[in-house]
Amino acid sequence: MTKIKIPAPLRKYTNEESVISTKAQNLFGIFEYLVFKYPQIKTHLFNEKAELHAFLRIFVGDKPNEVNGKEDVLLEKDHLIRIIPVIKGG
Amino acid sequence: MEDQLFSKEEFARYNRHIIIPEFGLEGQQKLKAAKVLVIGSGGLGSPMLLYLAAAGVGTIGIVDFDVVEDSNLQRQVLFGTESIGKPKVQEAKKRLLSLNPYIKVITHELALSADNALAIFKDYDLVADGTDNFPTRYLVNDACVLTGIPNVFASIFRFEGQVSVFNFPLENGERGPNYRDVFPEPPPPGLVPNCAEAGVLGVLPGIIGSLQANEVIKVITGIGSPLAGKLYIFDALSFQSRILKIKRNSNRAPIEKLIDYDAFCGAKSKNDSIPEITVQAFDQLRKQGDDFQLIDVRELMEYEHVNLGGTLIPLGSLLQKVDQIERDKQVIVLCKSGIRSAKAIEVLNEKFGFTNLYNLKGGIIAFAKEIDATLPTY
């Protein structure tokens, strides 16, 4: 199972779940599953061109990855995917 | 660096630094020679300023236009109960000089803007960003890039924090990634709440602000590896942390001048076009018994704490509950401060063609302050 960590600002769209597990083996598959299971999160992840919002970043392990519909990433079973949002609190 | 001489009292004060082999007298001299500008003296600024002052940073500038409020004291450990109502920079200066009289504290009691940022930044070696809004965060980033000084960044949300060192000078003469390389654009207004809107665990800025002070000291003294090209993330609930790699974005537009940051972050242009109603006019409508609908777009917990009897439709569920909003009468939309309600109206007008929505200016906080002081605030 691969896991995706949901940041606090987006958890209200995942019933407050902070980690979602899937059997998806690629990055696109993970996001398809996430949007299928929690439809409300879709507009908070992607813009009208189906591109990830510019105020979010996706990391596979500790490396940044683009989720732009062009290049997919094969995942290993212990990979943790992180959605990192811009936050402003000080 | 100028030769920094220490008095007998300073030698005694900084002894635990000076005896660290990697730090030594040279590190302490660098701290004394350094000029650090801290933007914001709130949750992050409080611990950061205390530790920088205690460590002996020779010149500390503080930018803040705000006054101390009672809701600050749960985390802003610079201030005491007697500080309520007083300017933060003045209270901070008093506290820091009490902690360490051998440093210089310069106060900038103003709102940082594109008009004054470069003139202020040019007198400092390093900036530490502890603000609480996107326009200022992008302004601080761009002003650091234009003046060529590093930006020690930190930000918090409820239980989570982020730390990085942006615009750090690399050995090859280039600069490390900056804020715009990681987050090219801010989110739409109202989508990402600040601490005042979403809440924050009081100890979290203590942890993250202390890490920020640590990075400031590392950058000044040159010891260790600063978080340049890295984004540190921390989750206080799971106590998990991670260092993520970040890099420069070659597709990003170059930063050549300061811009209108309110417009860039959508705070001005969109709000300008949204009809507003003042709390005084709203109060008049209520007293007259006029027929209008009141929609409250805050979260349930906020609503339970204090409300004006409106229909609760949190911003996140607005699209699913749009049929609860009436079209044939005036509808007044409110939130805590008027930002989320403006966002709600913008979305409803654009996507569903509403024309009868009015934003309660200043939100329930303004109503409590100006109309009904018996209401609890938060």
Question: Would you list the DSSP string of B216-235?
Answer: HHHHHHT-S---BTEEEEEE
Q: For residue A44, which residues of chain B lie inside 8 Å, CB to CB?
A: 191
Q: How confident is the model over A31-35, as a mean pLDDT?
A: 91
Other Cβ atoms within 10 Å of B345 Cβ, number: 24
For residue A52, give Cα distances in angstroms to A61, B52, B130, B211, B303.
18, 38, 27, 30, 32
B335 is catalytic: yes
* Cβ pair A86:B154 closer than 8 A: no
Q: How far is it, in rounded angstroms, from Cα A34 to Cα A30? A: 6
Domain boundary assignment for chain A: 2-85
Dmax over Cα atoms in chain A, in whole Å? 37
Would the CA dihedral through B192, B193, B198, B200 be positive or negative?
positive
Q: What is the mean pLDDT of chain B?
A: 93
Q: Kindly name the residue from B126, B315, B335, B357 that is annotated as catalytic.
A: B335
Write down the CATH superfamily of domain A2-85.
Beta-grasp domain (3.10.20.30)
The residue type found at B28 is Q
Tens-place pLDDT, residues B60-70: 999 999 999 99
CA distance A51 to chain B (A): 13
This model of the complex carries an ipTM of 0.89
For residue A89, give the nearest of B200, B233, B242 by CB distance.
B200
Residue B272 — very low, low, confident or very high, per pLDDT cuts 50/70/90?
Answer: low
> Could you identify the residue written with the tokens 């998806």?
A24
Q: Which of B316, B318, B181, B293 is nearest to B244 (CA)?
A: B181
Q: For residue A9, which residues of chain B lie inside 8 Å, CB to CB?
A: 157, 192-193, 198
Tens-place pLDDT, residues A34-80: 999 999 899 889 888 888 888 999 999 888 887 665 667 788 777 89
CA distance B328 to chain A (A): 28
**What is the predicted pLDDT for the residue at B316?**
83
